[in-house]
Amino acid sequence: MGPPVSVVLPAFDEEATLESTVRRTIEACEAFLPSFEVLVAEDGCSDRTPEIAARLAREDPRVRHVHSDERLGRGRALCRAFREAEGEVLVYFDADLATDLRYLKPLVESVRSGEYDVATGSRLLPGSEADRPLSRGVASRVYNGLVRVGLRSDLRDHQCGFKAFDREALHSLLPEVEDGHWFWDTEVLVRAQRRGYRIRELSVEWTPGEGTTVDPVRDVLGMGGALGRTWWELSVRPRLTTRVSLAAGLALVVLALVVTARYVDLGEVASELRAVDPALVATAAAVYLLSWPLRGLRYRDVLAELGHDEGVGFLTGAVFLSQTANVALPARAGDAVRAYIVKVRRGVAYPTGAASLAVERLFDTLTIAVLACVAFLVLTVGGTASSGALAADLSAGGSVTESGRVGVIAAAVVSGLAVVLSLVIVASARSDRRFARPALARASDDTYAEALTRVVERFAGDVQVIARAPGASARIAVASVSIWAIDVIAAALILLSFGVDATPPALLGVCTLAVCVGNLAKVLPLSPGGIGLYEGAFTVLVVALLPVSVPIALGAALLDHLMKNLVTVAGGAVAMLALNVSLSTAIEEGGEERVGVDH
């Protein structure tokens, strides 16, 4: 039978104080415990801490050394030690002994007595004494206030490194705790409360240890991001079913229609829609359908460079299914469906499938941004913008001169930024230098920065594979330009079906700008399939740059988007039958896979 209490000391580069800390811990435990063990959870140290811990373990059988060759992070080091601990009560406190050890007995006895499942020290309860700078005290109170409100916690202090747990309770919580570093304390306490465990918070006397530092990535981005993630997982995700997402998206679409009706006569829009040339609309749909085999070919080339040779027919079906999901879900959340399908049906690892999508999106973004910039320059140089209907009516007597100018300027700025960002990514991918790791290392060496670095390097590495294959890059680029050129031609045919009179260069230039900026707007996670966002951007730009009324421009935007979505959904239905895939299952499973990769 093991000792009743196990005390874990997380240790990272503690050579100066570790021996004294272990000795003082043993003395404090001997004062009230007949049997105990002390585990030094050494976390990939770079100094003499491992040697000191090993020697202490040899000298005293009550001391155990839990060694790690690499840095795990404080939370993961604690989890590893707790899994190896033998006690029924599992305790830990920071190796700098910031909390006075005279509080160790009440902490342990709170759990050992069976009255509580968790006990934690608090520097914010009445009667507590915490010697800390004013800035740290304010930051701590703000942080704990956010946790209390955002995560519905009843505790005052979540980050005090002085805690005790019932073994069974803690081991039931550990599989759910995702944080591996400083937020571990908060997450354990919040999840324990959600489970209904009994928690005691004790007032303590606390003095910060020497060498304590505030890490900008860890404390600001890391803790803030972890708090947001936990709030999402505990408060939002359980309620965010596919049905709820669709309902919320549809509600936003209805709201957009209500707002639009205040400024545009929807009766006129309907009248214009009834007068369109059906032959030109059918031609536009047929032209748009030609882009789908090109999407399959492009995806084949991307996967081939990442080591997977698949058939164009299967991949075209997978693209149809993922794009069908994107019609229903905001912010291109349906992309996970494609990664799921190629994993389940062809054994492509999910990270590779996700990376292939990221590479494809990079080419898409670069292509539409370059096309938009070219169109903007052509229209500006050619004088089309100055001769457009900038004075067309949005409503009776309302001028769109200013809104048109704003739309054109916004289009230029967004497209330019997209081009610059894409070129920077491509340039860094083609370089042998590793930009992310040195940059993040200068800010932090904790596990948050390391996790971010791995994500960035994995993405850059996959892009690098494509960027260093000139033949594949050229084929993918040509396919991307062809896909978006077909999209633009289809939109131009839709405008012609309304009887729009414009020269071919002006018509194609305006449609290029409208389609590209409209698709960039669809990325915003505000509505399913970007419905409303695409139409808004398309309408503003067409009205600003062509002698076209608002009802015609809005009708063309609605019909163009509707036609393309109908072709997509029809193709998705055929793909479901051909591949024998349930789209609802793919959305659910793909979302779970994506979450797993993200964490």
Catalytic residues: 185
Contact 147, 190 (CB under 8 A): yes
Nearest Cα neighbor of 393 from 506, 551, 523 is 551
Provide the CB-side half-sphere exposure for 231 (13 A, CA).
Answer: 14
Burial of 351 (0-12, 13-18, 19+ CB in 10 A): middle
∠ at Cα 373 (364, 513), nearest 5°? 75
Contact 521, 541 (CB under 8 A): no
Query: What radius of gyration do the chain's Cα atoms show?
Result: 30
166 pairs with which residues across the strands? Answer: 89
Nearest Cα neighbor of 414 from 554, 302, 533, 334 is 533
Which DSSP letter does residue 237 get? G
Angle in degrees, 0-180, between the axes of helices 242-263 and 583-598, rounded to the nearest 10: 100
Contact 453, 461 (CB under 8 A): no
Residues whose CB is less than 8 angstroms from the CB of residue 532 and which lie 6 or more positions away in sequence, other chains included: 252, 253, 256, 257, 526
Contact 28, 112 (CB under 8 A): no
Provide the CB-side half-sphere exposure for 128 (13 A, CA).
Answer: 21
Quickly list DSSP for 559-582: HHHHHHHHHHHHHHHHHHHHHT--
DSSP percent split of the chain into helix, strand, coil, nearest 5:
65, 10, 25
Provide the 10 A C-beta neighbour count for residue 499.
13
Residues whose CB is less than 8 angstroms from the CB of residue 323 and which lie 6 or more positions away in sequence, other chains included: 334, 568, 571, 572
Contact 98, 140 (CB under 8 A): no
Nearest Cα neighbor of 319 from 361, 351, 280 is 361
For residues 377 and 509, give the distance between their C-alpha atoms in angstroms, rounded to a whole number: 9
Residues whose CB is less than 8 angstroms from the CB of residue 134 and which lie 6 or more positions away in sequence, other chains included: none
